[in-house]
Amino acid sequence: MDESSAQLVQPPGILRVLAGEDCFGEVRGLGVSKLEFKVAGQGSSGLLSLENVFHEKGGPARHLHLEQDEWFYALEGDFLMEVGTERFTLHPGDSLMAPRMVPHVWAHIGNARGRILVTFMPAGKMEDFFRVVTQANAMPQQDPALWRAHGMELLGPPLSLE
């Protein structure tokens, strides 16, 4: 049985996504990176897990989630993270939880490729947020109304990597 036919006979509830692929077979870009949904489509009470693959330095603006905890797991490269008043550098194999209602900001800081797994619990409106913002293939606009419409508060600019 080849790889493609193995996917067709999976029992309901099992989701297998191959390396470098998106669970919907879609392509999403944020300018400095691309997003691959790994677990999505679970509705507002489910889980959203995505792999963010960076080819340049950068990351999102400072924000907080009103209803989601956000978990990060560094796969490749280094990431500077600020959660509340704490600052961390994640290296491959390191993870970090950013609880809901706590301001955070992060960025890929290495010169090589970076990959980080990001999981939102519950998914809330995050899947829709990424579908909207990746249409421009740029980091999300710093438009407070856009972020608020998706259950977040925009609090400041991205990290300065100068």
Question: CATH number, domain at 129?
Answer: 2.60.120.10
CA dist., res. 92 & res. 110, Å (int): 12
Q: Is residue 161 part of a domain?
A: no
Q: Is residue 130 part of a domain?
A: yes
A 10 A CB-CB count for 102 gives 15
Q: Is residue 103 part of a domain?
A: yes
H or E element in which residue 108 lies: strand 104-108
Which residues in the chain show pLDDT less than 70? 1-12, 42-45
pLDDT at 1: 44
pLDDT at 44: 62
pLDDT at 12: 64
pLDDT at 5: 43
Q: Is residue 152 part of a domain?
A: yes
Q: What are the pLDDT digits (tens) for 117-143?
A: 999 999 999 999 999 999 988 888 889
Question: Could you tell me the CA-to-CA distances from 96 to 29, 108, 147, 150 in Å, in that order?
Answer: 24, 14, 22, 22
Q: Is residue 114 part of a domain?
A: yes
> What's the domain range around 45?
3-156
Q: What are the pLDDT digits (tens) for 42-57?
A: 666 689 999 999 999 9
DSSP 55-85: SSSB-PPEEEESS-EEEEEEEES-EEEEETT
- Cβ atoms of 59 and 105 within 8 Å: the answer is yes
Looking at residue 134, the DSSP 8-state letter turns out to be G
Count of structural domains, the chain:
1
Q: Is residue 162 part of a domain?
A: no
A 10 A CB-CB count for 15 gives 12
pLDDT at 11: 59
